Copies of this chain bind each other. A is one copy, B any other.
Amino acid sequence: MDSNPIKSEHELIAMMASVLPGAGNDVLVGIGDDAAVLRPAESGDDYLLATSDMLVEEVHFSRQWSTPVQIGRKAAACNLSDIAAMGGRARWMFVSLALPDTVSTRWTLAVCEGIRKECLPYKVVVAGGDTCRADRAVISITVIGSVSPENLCLRSQARPGDLLAVSGPLGGSAAGLAMLRAGLSPGPYLAARHLTPGCRLDIASEIAPFANAMIDISDGLASETGHICRRSNVGAVIEAGAVPVDRQVTEAARSLNADPLEWALAGGEDFELLFTVDPRKFRLLSAKVQGLFRIGRIVSEAGIWLIRPDGRRVPLEGGFDHFAGQG
């Protein structure tokens, strides 16, 4: 496929290490020993956060649709997004790559370049990982972060009376994917929403002191609201008309005869933050952080309801499951 096949694991790791961001006062030993050695304390009271996500070729990404830089960016972003969802700061990343014979050194280093691009704005250091052969490319990433106890946002902390809010417009990733699948050009905005969605570490630590429960939208608004409600023993009412959907999403839906609200509710991979917040605090927060949308409220009765634009109240179900319907 390419003129520079991978010849040696040691050589590859050395080249990867030269691309991946690897400095940092809190990394005593990074890539190259049996384990990374990290200095944990920012403040002695901070908790550690740790999250792992695995991306498999043809399940989570396609070498046909995505450049290796895009694949690396998305793999990094979906992990960083989990740290954002806790209200924390991401600090160290561990990248394990399983690589088929058909990928080159150049492709692999471009994946690392994509990971670097997502890590740099947040000063996240890649401190270790693993490489090996496989039939299909697999990218397994673990991120370690930290959070002060007062900023920690758990799924279980929603309270009846809270507003339900999101950090940005939804459905863009699903719209981009649908256009690509239909063989149409998604345009630069929707392509970016699907291929390099980014994460919201830029504002997570500003939202966290105000929010009660928080989660990132990886599986769709309906599914993530369900996670918060189940964990918090509450219900939720979402106003369809208040769910933010971009003009490009509406236009893509028209050209594909699809429902843009369906993409926002069930599409997933937008990696915006969904959080619950006391109404008075939301006013203060909105004055501080631009681009937040109030989309509904938390109620004490179980169940998730959608109020449609015509005023009808319908139960909301769905979301994405990797194993459902494939048996």
Do A216 and B133 touch across chains, with their CB atoms under 8 A apart?
no
Q: Which residues of B contact A109 (CB under 8 A)?
A: none
Q: Which residues of B contact A279 (CB under 8 A)?
A: none
Query: Given the known A-B contacts A34-B155, A47-B40, A53-B96, are A323 and B6 also in contact in the complex, defined by CB atoms under 8 Å?
Result: yes
Near B by CB (< 8 A), chain A positions 77-98 give 81-83, 85-86, 88, 92, 94-98
The chain B residue sitting closest to A132, CB to CB, is B322
Q: Which residues of B contact A292 (CB under 8 A)?
A: none
Number of this chain's copies in the complex? 2
Measured between C-beta atoms, what is the minimum distance from A110 to chain B in Å? Answer: 18
The chain B residue sitting closest to A319, CB to CB, is B10
Measured between C-beta atoms, what is the minimum distance from A174 to chain B in Å? Answer: 19
How many Å lie between the Cα of A9 and that of B86 in the bound state?
A: 22
A138 at the interface (CB under 8 A from B): yes
A7 at the interface (CB under 8 A from B): yes
Q: B34, B54, B86, B324: which contacts A8 (Cβ < 8 A)?
A: B324
Measured between C-beta atoms, what is the minimum distance from A167 to chain B in Å? Answer: 14
Query: Given the known A-B contacts A5-B327, A50-B127, A128-B52, are A35 and B82 also in contact in the complex, defined by CB atoms under 8 Å?
Result: yes
Q: Which residues of B contact A44 (CB under 8 A)?
A: 41, 44
A180 at the interface (CB under 8 A from B): no
A212 at the interface (CB under 8 A from B): no
Measured between C-beta atoms, what is the minimum distance from A319 to chain B in Å? Answer: 9
Near B by CB (< 8 A), chain A positions 45-90 give 46-56, 59-60, 81-83, 85-86, 88
The chain B residue sitting closest to A156, CB to CB, is B33
Q: Which residues from chain A sit less than 8 Å from chain B, CB to CB? A: 5-10, 12, 28-29, 32-41, 44, 46-56, 59-60, 81-83, 85-86, 88, 92, 94-98, 101, 127-136, 138, 140, 142-145, 147, 152, 154-156, 215-216, 231, 321-324, 326-327
Q: Which residues of B contact A6 (CB under 8 A)?
A: 323, 327
Query: Given the known A-B contacts A6-B327, A155-B33, are A52 and B138 also in contact in the complex, defined by CB atoms under 8 Å?
Result: no
Do B56 and A47 touch across chains, with their CB atoms under 8 A apart?
no
Q: Which residues of B contact A28 (CB under 8 A)?
A: 47
A-B contact pairs, 17 of them (CB 8 A): A10-B321, A32-B155, A33-B156, A34-B86, A35-B50, A35-B86, A36-B48, A36-B51, A54-B138, A55-B132, A59-B133, A59-B134, A98-B138, A130-B140, A133-B323, A133-B326, A138-B138
Do B130 and A53 touch across chains, with their CB atoms under 8 A apart?
yes
Query: Given the known A-B contacts A132-B60, A135-B136, A322-B131, are A216 and B51 also in contact in the complex, defined by CB atoms under 8 Å?
Result: no
Q: B51, B95, B134, B145: which contacts A128 (Cβ < 8 A)?
A: B51
Measured between C-beta atoms, what is the minimum distance from A270 to chain B in Å? Answer: 15
The 9 A-B residue pairs whose C-beta atoms are closest, nearest first, are A140-B140, A35-B51, A34-B85, A38-B48, A142-B142, A54-B96, A34-B82, A35-B49, A52-B94
Q: Which residues of B contact A38 (CB under 8 A)?
A: 47-50
